[in-house]
Structure 1
Amino acid sequence: MRNISINQLDDTPRSVVAIGTDYSHGHLLPFHTHRRAQLLYGASGVMQVSTHDGNWVVPPQRAVWIPPGMAHEVLMLGVSTRSLYIEPGTVDLGGRCQVVSVSPLLRHLLMEAVEVPLNYDLAGRDGALINLLLHELKRSTPLPLHIPMPTEGKLLSLCQTFLNKPNAHQSPQQWSEQLHISLRTFNRLFRQQTGFSFRQWRQQACVVQALARLAAGEAVTRIALDFGYESPAAFSTMFRRVLGQAPSVWLEAAN
């Protein structure tokens, strides 16, 4: 099915409903929930997903798993999506959002799934396609594209400001001074709220925010300088440390 809301199809007597939707650049889906779990795959473009637990960037040809009932917001940057809406209990990728890899086989199955009839024959070819799709989905691996966020207060505000303008040189001392607390108290609070040390979080945030810009075609040099790195090489070294590959190699895998 194409360009139809899940709200019109939620009662379909099938465990999986597949919908393809094209979005204009900058289209925002405000916070909402689904009764079913959702696998949201971007065939093109970049998605920025937010929940109360954090932010995720979904580069082209990756997907995000959204558990049933989880409130989420999605900013679409030139995206053509393929979504699976899956009855709770059918497949379980965990109770939190996560960006997952999409194998070439899963990619083709997702593209084909939106073309099957709504009430597909469970015992026929289309039923077998959906079953294979679910098996392949279970083999997906999580990708480290999550930016955990504090739940509230001034620390949340500081994190949100940083995401709008990442700066690799910001220090925990600067943040502790803004919060009027000791450095030791700040470090303990930050880890309690995010699960990361400040420096780990800063690095993760820079990488994930950079991915959205890289996928949109921006140059590594421009991003590196904007984020405060001394050179593209310094940025690439940090990027490789987090994702295991240079920016150019990582993006090439999405094409």
Structure 2
Amino acid sequence: MEVRLYPNSSRPGLGLKPRREGQRPLLPQHARHCPVLEAGSALGFLVYPPLEPHESFHIEYQGEGRYQLIYFLNTGGEKWEPIFTVSIVLPIGSIGMMKEEVSFVSDKQAISRDTALGILRAFIVPEDLGTPPGAISLRGATNFKTPAGWDTVYTPIFNMIERPIAPMLVVRVETDWYPHETEFRYVLQPGEGIHGAHNMPIGQVFFVPREEVTVADCTKEELAAIQTSRQEFFHQKAAAKIMTPYGLEYSPHYLRQSRSRNS
């Protein structure tokens, strides 16, 4: 199955390509010896923002329909400098116009107001702000076109355990026919923010076939076979235990079985 990629319409060619990654930086050491955990982390692909290495941004929900985005540059490789901020005020009761106020912090970059707002729209979807309250939709650098009958599921990054983690609305889109621009809608509390960087993923995607799934109870014979298989597996798992140099005991039996069955 092949999924086709096409770039962010506002900033084509910028940002890292989607990648599959089974490791997470803050998981304990034993996670490296847990193949089912790493397989869960590696489901699908990590998606990155449309940023160059010397760019970053921070967007914060300030409460009462107010948001602020700060755009940073690090052209010298030593210090991140804020270039401009965009303050967004949503209309009360969804009646009226959204206000966008641009303030330039640095005079080192000659950027117009329209250019600043264009950069803002490459990173977020202003029309989605506040739906629900605190919501921020981050745009990805890459969009996906799936084969006929396959959908794309947009999720937060799996197995990220650091706190606090803003909740995200998971969506499933029929990307075989609908040209969906990749976005990840997080919901923040007042005072919370999200930082965007070139090498920092903003979400995860995986692909599922659009087919009906039915469930049925196992027969007595199937249950007996499952019980026998379980007992054999745990017996072989115990026999295959090894000790790491750091004193961690684990069994590679599941990983060996998985590789032999999928090779």
Shared fold (TM-score, shorter chain, > 0.5): no
Task: Give the TM interval when normalised to the shorter protein.
Answer: under 0.3
Please identify which structure carries the higher helix content.
1
Per the normalisation by structure 2, the TM-score is: 0.21
Q: Over alpha carbons, which structure has the higher Rg?
A: 2
TM-score calculated relative to the size of structure 1: 0.21
More strand by share: 2
